[in-house]
Structure 1
Amino acid sequence: MKNPYIKTSLGMYLNYFMLGMINIIIASNMSALSDNYNQPVEKISLLVSAIGIGKLIALFFAGRLSDKIGRKPIIITGSFLYLLFLVGIPLMSSYPVAFVLAITAGIANSLLDSGTYPALIESFPKKSSSATVLVKAIMSIGATLLPFILAYLVSNDISWGWSFYALGILFMISGIYLIFMPFPAFKSNSKDKVDSEVYKNRFKEEPKFWGEGLAIILIGFTSTALFVVWQTWLPELGSKFIGLSENVSVKLLSYFSIGALVSVLLLAALLDKLIKPITVMILYPTIAFLSMLSLFFVQSYPIVIIMTFILGLSTSGTFQLAITVMTQFFVKNKGTTTSYVNIAGSAAFILVPIISSFLVGQIGISMTLVFDMVIACLSVLLAVFVLIRGKKVFQ
C-alpha cells in the first residue's frame, strides 16, 4: 500500500530545501548586509547568533507543543514566521530590527525542527534514519544552489534582496500547501500509550537520560558547531588565511555544500542497511579532524577544494543522526526528547559565532580551524560513549 504521507513529506522537505539557503544567506551577503545596516562585518555575523537565540527560546516549548497539539500546526506556523524574516531583512535598515527578525527566524527554525523530525519518523517508521538524513540532503542542495543564484543576481544587476524575497514567497506557498495535507497520528507516541511489552523487549536496562541522553544532547552541540564554523567563516578563511579572491572564496561554500549533499545521499542509501547511525557519528568527526589538520598545514588551491569537499561530507548528517539515536534510546514523547538535542544545536548557533569571532579578533582567522578540531575530538569521544552504552542498554 502506498504511503499516504509522501505528499506531506514533499512539503516538509521543501521547507528544508529553503532552510539550506537561509543557513548561509547571511554569510553569503555579508558585504551587502553590512552596507544596508551600516555595521561592520563582525556585527553582521552576530545575526547568526541571533538566529540561535531564537531557536533556543522556542525549543523550551516547541517540542512540548508538538507532542500536545500535533506536528501540523507547529510546522505551518514556522513556515509563516520565516516569511516575516525573509521579507523584513532586505526591507529594513535598522540593525536592532534585523536582530529581532533573526530571532524570529530562529523561532521558526525550532518550530520546523520540533514538528518535522517527529512527523518524518512517524510517517516512515521503518526508514526513520534515512528519512531524517534526507532532510540534510535537501538542505545541502539548497545551500549548493544559493551561491550560483547570488552570482546570477550580481551579473544581471538584480538587488541582493531578491534572494530573500523569493524564499519568502516559497515559504508562503509551502505553508498553504501543508494546510491541506494529512499528517500521521502523533499521540500514539505519548508516554501513556507506549506499549510496555515492546519497551521491555527492546531494552536490557532502562536508558539513562543523564548518561547516554546527555551525551547525545552534547553531540547535538558538537555536530552543529562543526558545521556552523564552516558556514560562518569559510569565505573569510578562503580570502584571509588561504589568500583566494573574494569571489573564489564565496564559491568554496558550494564545494562544501556539494560534499554535504554527497554525504547525506550516501547515508540515505546505506543507513539501516549496511551501517548504523552511531558508527557514522564516530567516523565523520574523525575524518573532519584529519581534513582540518591537512588544511591547516597545506593551503594550495587544489588541496583546499578537496578538503572543503571532504569537510562538507564529514560534518553533514551527524546532527540528524543524533536526533534519530535519541528517539531510539528514549521512545516516549519524541517531540520533547528531540527538542533537547535541538536546544544543544541552538546553543551552538549562539555560542560558536561569538567564540569564533573572539578568537579571530584576538589571535587570527586560523584559530577557527584549531577551535573546530577540538570540537571534532570531543564529538568522537561522546559518540564512543554512546556506542558503549548502547551495547549495554539494547537487547
Structure 2
Amino acid sequence: MPTAMSLYLNYFVHGIGVIILAQNMAQLAQHWHTTAGGVAVVISSLGIGRLLVLLVSGALSDKFGRKPFVLLGIATYLLFFVGIVASPNITIAYIFGILAGIANSFLDSGTYPALMEMFPKAKGTANVIIKAFISAGQFILPLFVSFLIAGNIWYGWSFMICIAILVLNGIFLIIAGKFPVANQLPTDVQADDLTDEKAESKGNLWFDGTLFILYGYISQATFYLVSQWLSQYGQKIAGMGETSSRALISYYSVGSLVCVFVTAALARKAVKEIQFLGVYTLISFLSLLTMYLVPNGLVCSIMSFVVGFSAAGGVMQLGLTVMSTFFPKGKGTITGAFYTAGSIASFTIPLFTGMMASNLANIILFDVFIALAGFVVAVLITIRYYHLFGKEEAEASKGETNLDQSSNS
C-alpha cells in the first residue's frame, strides 16, 4: 500500500503537469515572446513525447519490470518542470514539452500494470483512483495560480512545488518501493479469482483492437481539449471574470473526483466496468452540447462539473481495464497501445484547437462532435463485450443462484 500511494502521488503531480502550461498561458507567452497559440503548440509537444516511447516502454515494462519505468518517469518529469521555467523561447520549451510526454509514458507503462498486479481483484478501482489524484492536482493548481497572480508572485512557484514533490517521492521509491513481479500471479489469491489472468485473448486483434485504439484517442481528446480551453471559454464566450473562469477547472476537477468515488462504490456492488462506458460518454456529449448552446456563467459552472464527472472521472482508465479483459496477456503492452492512441490525441488536439483559437465557441463545438463519436465507439465495445462474454457471465450468474438456493435448502 505505501508503494501504491507513492505511485498515486506521481499522478497528483501529473495532473498539475497536464494543465500547468494552459493555466500559466499569459505569463509563459510573455516569457517566450509569443502568443496563446504559440503556447498551445508547446502543449501539443506533450503528445509527441508520449507517442515516441509509450508503445515500446509498455512492452519493455513487461520484460524488465515496473519500477525502472516509474523512476524514469519521475526523472524525466523533473527535467520538464525545470526546463519550462528556464526556457527562453518556444523552441526550447517545445523540447522540454516532449520530455513531459515521455515522462507520462514511462509512468503509465510502469504504474497501470503494477496496480493491476498489486490489486488483481480490484483492477478497475485501482486504475480509476489514479484519476482521483490527477483530478486533485487539477483542482488545486488553478486556485494556487490565482493566489500567485493576486499576490503578484512569480508564476514559477507552481513548477517548483512539483519539483519538490517528485524529488521526495523518487527517493522513497528508490529506498522502499516494493513492486510485484511483472505478469506473475500473486500466490495469496485464489485461482478462481484470477481466471481472467489465465485466459487466452478472446478479442479480435484487428476489430476489437481498433475499437479500443479509437476509444483511447477519443476519451483522451474529449477531456484534454476541455481541460486546456475551459477557462478561456468561460472568460471570453460566457463573459466570466478571470478568477471565476479559472474556477471552472476546479469545478471540472471536483466532478472527476466525485466520479471516482461513485465508480468505486458501484464497482464494489458488482457493477462491471463495461457498464460505465456508454453511460459516461453519453453524459459527456450532452453536457458539452449544453455548454455550447447556453454559454453563460451558471451553465458553464454546472456543466464543468458534469463534464469532469463523465469525461475525466476515470472513463479512460475503465476503458483500459475492459481492454485487459479482451486481451488479458501482457498488460504493459496493451497499456502502451491504448495510451499511444491517447498520446496522438494529446499531440493533435492542441494543434487543431490552436488553429481555432480565434473562435473559442468552435473549439467546444469540436469537442461536442468528439464526445458523440466516443459514445458510438463505446456502444460498439459494449455490444462486442456481451457477444464475447455474455454467455459466460450468464452461466456464472446461474451457478451463483443455484449455489444460493442449495445453501438456503
Question: Using a 3 Å threshold, how does the CA distance of structure 1 residues 247 and 70 change in structure 2: closer, same or farther?
Answer: same
Conservation of the 8 A alpha-carbon contact between 1:129 and 1:272: no
Deviations 1:64-93 (A, max 9, x none): 110111000000111011111111211221
Residue 307 of structure 2 is aligned to residue 314 of structure 1: no
Deviation at 1:202, TM superposition (A): 5.3
Q: For 1:12-27, what aligned pairs fall within 5 Å after superposition?
A: 12-27=7-22
Q: For 1:26-37, what aligned pairs fall within 5 Å after superposition?
A: 26-37=21-32
How far apart, CA to CA, are the structure 1 residues paired with 2:296 and 2:29? 30
Deviation at 1:272, TM superposition (A): 5.1
Question: Using a 3 Å threshold, how does the CA distance of structure 1 residues 201 and 324 change in structure 2: closer, same or farther?
Answer: closer
Deviation at 1:198, TM superposition (A): 4.5
- The letter of the residue matching 1:94 is N
Deviation at 1:159, TM superposition (A): 0.8
Residue 44 of structure 2 is aligned to residue 49 of structure 1: yes
Residue 223 of structure 2 is aligned to residue 227 of structure 1: yes
- The letter of the residue matching 1:277 is E
Q: For 1:140-219, what aligned pairs fall within 5 Å after superposition?
A: 140-180=135-175, 181-188=177-184, 198=195, 206-219=202-215
Per the alignment, in what secondary structure is the counterpart of residue 126 of structure 1? coil
How far apart, CA to CA, are the structure 1 residues paired with 2:293 and 2:334? 41
Deviation at 1:60, TM superposition (A): 2.8
1:11 to 6, 10, 25: 6
Runs of 4 or more, structure 1, over 3 Å off, are: 197-203
How far apart, CA to CA, are the structure 2 residues paired with 1:73 and 1:53? 22
Q: For 1:1-395, what aligned pairs fall within 5 Å after superposition?
A: 6-180=1-175, 181-188=177-184, 198=195, 206-271=202-267, 273-316=269-312, 317-361=314-358, 364-394=359-389, 395=392
- The letter of the residue matching 1:8 is T
Per the alignment, in what secondary structure is the counterpart of residue 239 of structure 2? coil
Deviation at 1:269, TM superposition (A): 1.9
Conservation of the 8 A alpha-carbon contact between 2:285 and 2:372: yes
Per the alignment, in what secondary structure is the counterpart of residue 188 of structure 1? coil
Per the alignment, in what secondary structure is the counterpart of residue 234 of structure 1? helix
Deviation at 1:314, TM superposition (A): 0.9
Per the alignment, in what secondary structure is the counterpart of residue 182 of structure 1? coil
How far apart, CA to CA, are the structure 1 residues paired with 2:25 and 2:311? 23
How far apart, CA to CA, are the structure 2 residues paired with 1:76 and 1:360? 37
Question: Using a 3 Å threshold, how does the CA distance of structure 1 residues 188 and 258 change in structure 2: closer, same or farther?
Answer: same
Extract unaligned runs of 5+ from structure 2. 186-190, 393-409
Conservation of the 8 A alpha-carbon contact between 2:282 and 2:375: yes
- The letter of the residue matching 2:335 is T
Pick which of 236-245 and 28-37 moved more. Answer: 236-245
Conservation of the 8 A alpha-carbon contact between 1:360 and 1:366: no
Deviations 1:17-50 (A, max 9, x none): 1111111111100001001101111010112210
Per the alignment, in what secondary structure is the counterpart of residue 216 of structure 2? helix
Deviations 1:322-367 (A, max 9, x none): 1111111111111001111100000000111111222344xx2111
How far apart, CA to CA, are the structure 2 residues paired with 1:329 and 1:107? 27
- The letter of the residue matching 1:214 is T
Larger Rg: 2
Conservation of the 8 A alpha-carbon contact between 2:199 and 2:328: no
Question: Using a 3 Å threshold, how does the CA distance of structure 1 residues 148 and 201 change in structure 2: closer, same or farther?
Answer: closer
Deviation at 1:292, TM superposition (A): 1.7
Deviation at 1:158, TM superposition (A): 2.3
How far apart, CA to CA, are the structure 2 residues paired with 1:379 and 1:386? 10
Per the alignment, in what secondary structure is the counterpart of residue 125 of structure 1? coil
How far apart, CA to CA, are the structure 2 residues paired with 1:301 and 1:158? 28
Percent of matched pairs sharing the same residue:
38
